[in-house]
Amino acid sequence: MRFSLNRKRFKDLSEQEVLALAISSEEDDARIYRDYAERLREAYPDSAAVFDGMAEEENEHRRRLIDLHRARFGDVIPLIRREHVSGYYARRPVWLIENLSLERIRQEAAAMEQDAERFYHAAAARTSDAATRQLLGDLAAAEAGHHGSAQDLTEKHLNTDSRSDEDSRAHRQFLLTWVQPGLAGLMDGSVSTLAPIFATAFATHNTWTTFLVGLAASVGAGISMGFTEAASDDGELSGRGSPIKRGVASGVMTTVGGLGHALPYLITDFWTATVVAIIVVFVELWAIAWIQNKFMETPFFRAAFQVVLGGALVFAAGVLIGSG
């Protein structure tokens, strides 16, 4: 709250301060685009070239704004940045979006330009000073011009073949880093925990004990799968991506797969809980088959047969052991 109170309101800025704020904003955006370009350069060189061009466009607008400031107010530009102004649009740190998909990064860049344009239009509408209104209108027009420049750069560096190739690589990387280990974890968690959970259920007929066993089995399997996935391959040679990301995907989905049919045993009535758990197992197994079909292009009925058969055998083993 104290930080917010120490910030200046946009409507209280002088024309010189508004111009200085626009200059610093253009500088920040140019740095962000360069950072995008560096992060994408190795895997997606054509998209990196687009962001290089967008950074240069921002620098050109910054130079024009500096020339305008020099003509109107002189060479000394006040130090004022986004964080100094209450209500001014913010930019998310690059490290918060570095794990996003290629398409999501493109969308983030487009949103950056739209935020700036929208803010300048709103600010111009709130002022009654003709000179300030003209200045803000010029800034909004400059931001709108960025959209056209970005489109021109995209058409120049990203033709249909290049974009299709980059999108294909991005999709493959998504499959290798997130879907494949997550699917393996979901399958392991859903199937491997069936035996201990249902063996405990039919051996004790105690729902709370069954839930605790299921919780322990799910969390333990998740930790084991997560560490195994992360330690098995650093991703450098295989191209499967960050071991941490893969470990998290595998561990979390393993835990989720086991908890799905452990949670019904929070119901105190044994048979009600068991029926609900069996229904959940059926849904889980068909969900796994659907994911395999959608992302891994495995024929649906083949995937369903493999998953359902395996799940049925483990489930039967658990029931037989528990009943015996």
pLDDT, tens digit (0-9, with 9 covering 90-100), for 280-309: 998 888 888 888 888 777 787 887 787 778
Neighbours of 236 (CB within 10 A): 8
Q: Is the dihedral of CA 36, 37, 38, 42 positive or negative?
A: positive
**Mean local confidence (pLDDT), 35-41:** 84
In the chain, count of helices (H) and strands (E)?
Answer: 13, 2
Distance CA 65, CA 142 (A): 10
Closest CA to 246 of 293, 180, 168, 187: 180
Q: Mean pLDDT in the chain?
A: 80
* pLDDT recorded at residue 216: 94
Residues 6+ apart with CB under 8 A from 186: 253, 254, 256, 257, 284, 287, 288, 291
Q: Where are the beta strands (DSSP E) in the chain?
A: 8-9, 85-86
pLDDT for res 148 = 55
Other C-beta atoms lying within 10 Å of the C-beta of residue 14: 11
Output the CA–CA distances (angstroms, integers) from residue 277 to 57, 71, 307, in the order listed: 58, 74, 17
Q: What global pTM score does this model have?
A: 0.56
